[in-house]
């Protein structure tokens, strides 16, 4: 039965039975369309805002399948969406009428403990990476929710628990295997340093990454973990103490503050259910005993409702947020803003806006940046902003679609107010709910790297076939 797909010109084209049969003849993974048993589940992504219907889902089993899918799109001028873990807040990983190149079956991870290198397939999650690397007492800097895809997080930068100790995920990317828009397989690395440079922070603009090779670092299996949960009523005092403590921390410590309402989850003590709180979290990426000593002050910023600090398996730390973010279970709209500093006016804004959160699972999330990630010269990778000490992520999460307008408006209002504060500039695109970047946001995100990125786009994807992303138009 013919399949009607969207094209790059917003028109439609039909793939006839013969063309589909030719594709199936060599394709090792399933080709999934509306009406197939796998289709409905295959359309579910992390952000429940997006209930989209691709015309054809090519669930690839390896690089050769990806090549066939990209060549099909090239030959028929098809609109392409690419999905790894499916965590794109902006919904880039699925689109109505598109050809969806689905990497979710490509989750292999191979570790070379002597070289301290991990080779990771393009559909793997950070949970997959942590499981394999921890067998050898190694870790790759990744995210803080284990179901997040390696691809999207890395290509957009990669803030997590280890960025101060070892840099962003993209800083640890040694090389990559990429299927570019012409259907060719390229190796981004010493053989093609410009492609590797562009992949380190500029998203999926340049092709489908089928494999990543990362530096891995000695860590675990146990790490020093700090988790102090304070009442939201004490947030002003605790945030000031946290800021002052954070300003002098060594690179080994990464910390964050989260204003949130704890859900009634079996993962939490019953006395914490439905409590408005300020969570101060931290991980020390060094000797465990020394780390617990170094984290002691954050447990005494006030009187915590609960102190869950202590040595913990690194994999457990990486999975701690997982129960609160079920796949497709929340609707989400996020925006973010860097800060050079957190003065008292910014902290007052956080406290006030924290009280006004429109939904319990909406949060204000403030990671400390700097450390190793902050010492990488801005021109060395495509990732734009290395000067900020903090990131403010305003994360609206809710469950009722009727609340969408209110949630989105609240996020935009908070960001508009925060942008007027001293030291506010830039944005972290992995934490952006905007499906299409306006020119100002693009320039803010990539800074002086934008012109070079436009030239790289023209080289590797001159027709902008990979456009469902934080898109960079081809230039020159």
Query: DSSP letters along 157-178, please?
Result: ---SSSHHHH--TGGGEEEEEE
At 436 the pLDDT is: 86
pLDDT digits (tens, 9 = 90+) for 18-40: 999 999 999 999 999 999 999 99
41: Cα separation from own chain's centroid: 22
pLDDT digits (tens, 9 = 90+) for 320-331: 999 999 999 999
Residue ranges and CATH numbers for the domains of the chain are: 3-102 (3.30.43.10), 109-218+448-460 (3.30.465.10), 222-431 (3.40.462.20)
Phi first, then psi, for residue 41 (nearest 5°) are -65, -35
Q: If pLDDT is split at 50, 70 and 90, which confidence band does 435 have?
A: confident
Range name among 139-148, 165-174, 383-392 with the lowest pLDDT average: 383-392
Given the DSSP bridges, would you call strands 276-284 and 253-261 parallel, antiparallel or unpaired?
antiparallel
* Mean pLDDT taken over the chain: 97
Contacts for 98 with CB less than 8 Å, ≥ 6 apart: 5, 6, 54, 55, 78, 79, 80, 81, 468
HEC-encoded secondary structure of 420-476: CCCCEECCCHHHCCCCCCCHHHHHHHHHHHHHHHHHHHHHHCCCCCCCCCCCCCCCC
Q: If pLDDT is split at 50, 70 and 90, which confidence band does 73 have?
A: very high
Q: If pLDDT is split at 50, 70 and 90, which confidence band does 83 have?
A: very high
pLDDT digits (tens, 9 = 90+) for 98-154: 999 999 999 999 999 999 999 999 999 999 999 999 999 999 999 999 999 999 999
As a whole-number percent, the residues of the chain with pLDDT over 90 amount to: 94
pLDDT digits (tens, 9 = 90+) for 98-114: 999 999 999 999 999 99
pLDDT digits (tens, 9 = 90+) for 190-202: 999 999 999 999 9
As a whole-number percent, the residues of the chain with pLDDT over 70 amount to: 100
Are 165 and 371 within 8 A, CB to CB?
yes
476 has a pLDDT exceeding 80 = no
Q: How many CA atoms, within 13 angstroms, populate the side-chain half-sphere of residue 129?
A: 36
Cα 157–Cα 155–Cα 434 angle in degrees, nearest 5: 80
Are 169 and 157 within 8 A, CB to CB?
yes
385 has a pLDDT exceeding 90 = no
Nearest to 68 by CA among 9, 4, 21: 21
- Using CA atoms in the order 35, 39, 45, 49, what is the torsion angle rounded to 10 degrees? 10
Give the bridge partners for 111, in sequence order: 118
Are 73 and 465 within 8 A, CB to CB?
yes
| Rounded Cα gap, residues 71 and 84, in angstroms | 19
Contacts for 237 with CB less than 8 Å, ≥ 6 apart: 301, 302
Q: How far apart are the first and last CA of the chain?
A: 42
At 117 the pLDDT is: 99
Q: If pLDDT is split at 50, 70 and 90, which confidence band does 269 have?
A: confident
461 has a pLDDT exceeding 90 = yes
Are 58 and 102 within 8 A, CB to CB?
yes
| Rounded Cα gap, residues 85 and 123, in angstroms | 6
At 266 the pLDDT is: 85
């Amino acid at each position: 039965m013919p399949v009607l797909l969207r094209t790059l010109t917003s028109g439609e084209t039909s793939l006839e039975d013969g063309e589909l049969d030719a594709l199936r003849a060599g394709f090792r993974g399933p080709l999934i369309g509306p009406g197939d048993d796998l289709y409905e589940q295959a359309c579910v992504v992390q952000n429940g805002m997006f209930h989209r219907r691709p015309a054809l889902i090519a669930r690839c089993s390896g690089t050769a399948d990806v090549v066939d899918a990209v060549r099909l799109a090239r030959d028929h001028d098809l609109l392409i969406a690419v999905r790894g873990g499916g965590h794109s807040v902006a919904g880039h990983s699925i689109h109505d009428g598109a050809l969806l190149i689905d990497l979710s079956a490509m989750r292999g991870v191979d570790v070379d403990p002597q070289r301290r290198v991990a080779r990771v397939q393009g559909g793997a999650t950070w949970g997959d990476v942590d499981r394999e690397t921890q067998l050898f007492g190694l870790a790759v800097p990744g995210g803080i929710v284990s179901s997040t895809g390696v691809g999207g997080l890395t290509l957009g930068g990669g803030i997590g628990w280890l960025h101060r100790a070892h840099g962003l995920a993209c800083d640890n990317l040694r090389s990559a295997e990429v299927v570019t828009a012409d259907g060719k397989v390229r190796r981004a690395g010493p053989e093609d340093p410009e492609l590797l440079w562009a992949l380190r922070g500029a998203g999926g603009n340049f092709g489908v990454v089928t494999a990543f090779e990362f530096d891995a670092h000695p860590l675990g299996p146990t790490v020093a973990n700090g988790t102090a949960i304070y009442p939201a009523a004490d947030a002003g005092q605790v945030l000031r103490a946290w800021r002052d403590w954070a300003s002098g921390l060594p690179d080994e410590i990464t910390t964050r503050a989260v204003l949130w309402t704890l859900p009634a989850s079996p993962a939490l003590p019953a006395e914490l259910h439905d409590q408005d709180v300020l969570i101060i979290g931290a991980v020390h990426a060094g000797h465990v005993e020394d780390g617990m000593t170094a984290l002691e002050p954050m447990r005494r910023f006030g009187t915590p409702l609960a102190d869950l600090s202590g040595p913990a398996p690194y994999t457990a730390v990486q999975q701690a947020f997982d129960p609160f973010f079920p796949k497709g279970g929340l609707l989400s709209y996020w925006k973010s803003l860097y800060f050079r500093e957190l003065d008292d006016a910014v902290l007052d804004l956080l406290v006030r806006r924290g009280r006004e959160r429109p939904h319990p699972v909406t949060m204000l999330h403030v990671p400390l940046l700097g450390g190793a990630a902050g010492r990488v010269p801005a021109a060395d990778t495509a990732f734009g902003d290395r000067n900020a000490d903090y990131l403010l992520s305003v994360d609206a999460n809710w469950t009722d679609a009727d609340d969408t307008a209110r949630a989105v408006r609240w996020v935009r209002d908070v960001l508009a107010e925060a942008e007027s504060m001293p030291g506010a500039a830039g944005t972290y695109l992995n934490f952006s709910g905007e499906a299409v970047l306006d020119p100002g946001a693009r320039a803010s995100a990539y800074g002086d790297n934008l012109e070079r990125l436009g030239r790289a786009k023209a080289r590797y994807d001159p027709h902008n076939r990979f456009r469902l992303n934080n898109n960079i138009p081809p230039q020159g």
